[in-house]
Amino acid sequence: KSVLKSDLLGKEVVHFFDTDSTNNEAKKLAADGAVEGTIVVSEAQNSGRGRLSRGFFSPASKGIWLSVILRPSFAPQHASKCTLVTAVAVTKAIEKFTGIRCGIKWPNDIFYEGKKLVGILTEMNAEMDAVNYIVIGIGINVNIAQAEFPEELQRIATSLQAISGNAIERKELLSQVLVELESAYLEILKNGFLHILNEWKTYSITLGQAVNVIGIDQTFSGIAKDIDEDGALLVETENGVERVLAGDVSIRPK
């Protein structure tokens, strides 16, 4: 805890050596009244989760498997933008700490040269028309050698160590991530999302690309043009502009 430089985030630190998922632990703690800024970290997750009940590979002591509990005053419909905000904050932290400049694939992945380095999973609990809590889950592949990824991730995943050739100090990087996330969070509470959504655009690897979209109830192709004020992806298709609030986007090779 002494290495943390943030004020709000990391106010309470809950540490596990092994757990199913830090998001699950954080949701339990939040439901039991944990204060805003509580973070949950685990050395390993034996059931790390992605979106749509996909798994997230989280080997012991080789990554940052982190969940952050927030209790924002904004309305529940704004929660999905926290994923984009977090992606910007984590990308900045990685760049400041390692010099590695990554790109963000809409909505929740941080990529380096076509491979995924970070995944983000935002989950919300709302009551009536107010947010009770938001849990932001962040998984950063830090010191995983390329050969240590399971077969199915070999060609699609990477780590900071695989990129830089050096082992990275996880605690220091965690501290930097919390500093950036805290500053982004305070900024959106004070001034709204516009500034950080514009910043998101400068890190995007999705905008301007030909994409295939697998949405909740439709699948289509087009050109990713922009994001709107809700963080939705605007895709120009043969039938006009489609607005994608949630879904999977793959970038079509040129």
Q: Which residue is nearest to ligand BT5 (CB)?
A: 119
Name which of 51 and 201 has its Cβ closer to ligand BT5. Answer: 51
Name which of 72 and 137 has its Cβ closer to ligand BT5. Answer: 137
Name which of 120 and 173 has its Cβ closer to ligand BT5. Answer: 120
Name which of 97 and 111 has its Cβ closer to ligand BT5. Answer: 111
Shortest distance in whole angstroms from residue 243 CB to ligand BT5: 20
Name the percent of the chain in helix, strand, coil, to the closest 5. 30, 35, 35
Name which of 148 and 187 has its Cβ closer to ligand BT5. Answer: 148
What is d(CA 13, CA 29) in angstroms, rounded to the nearest whole number? 11
Shortest distance in whole angstroms from residue 44 CB to ligand BT5: 11
What is d(CA 37, CA 182) in angstroms, rounded to the nearest whole number? 9
Binding site for ligand BT5 (CB under 6 A): 21-23, 45, 48-52, 54-58, 65-67, 108-109, 116, 119-121, 137-139, 141, 153, 157
Shortest distance in whole angstroms from residue 113 CB to ligand BT5: 13
Name which of 120 and 184 has its Cβ closer to ligand BT5. Answer: 120
User: In the beta sheet, which residues pair with residue 241?
Assistant: 236
Residue 220 parent element (H or E): strand 219-227
For the range 188-195, what are the long-range contacts, defined as Cβ-Cβ under 8 Å and sequence gap of 24 or more?
Answer: 188/74, 188/81, 188/85, 189/72, 189/73, 189/74, 193/78, 193/81, 193/85, 193/229, 193/231, 194/229
Shortest distance in whole angstroms from residue 248 CB to ligand BT5: 7
Shortest distance in whole angstroms from residue 238 CB to ligand BT5: 27
- Strands 233-237 and 115-127 come out as unpaired
**For 170, left (φ over 0), alpha (ψ -120 to 50), or beta?**
alpha
Name which of 11 and 51 has its Cβ closer to ligand BT5. Answer: 51
Shortest distance in whole angstroms from residue 128 CB to ligand BT5: 27
Q: How far is CA 120 from CA 2, 33, 239, 248, in A?
A: 25, 23, 31, 13
Shortest distance in whole angstroms from residue 146 CB to ligand BT5: 11
| The one-letter amino acid at 221 | S
The total of other beta-carbon atoms located within 10 Å of residue 31's CB is 11
Radius of gyration from C-alpha coordinates of the chain:
17
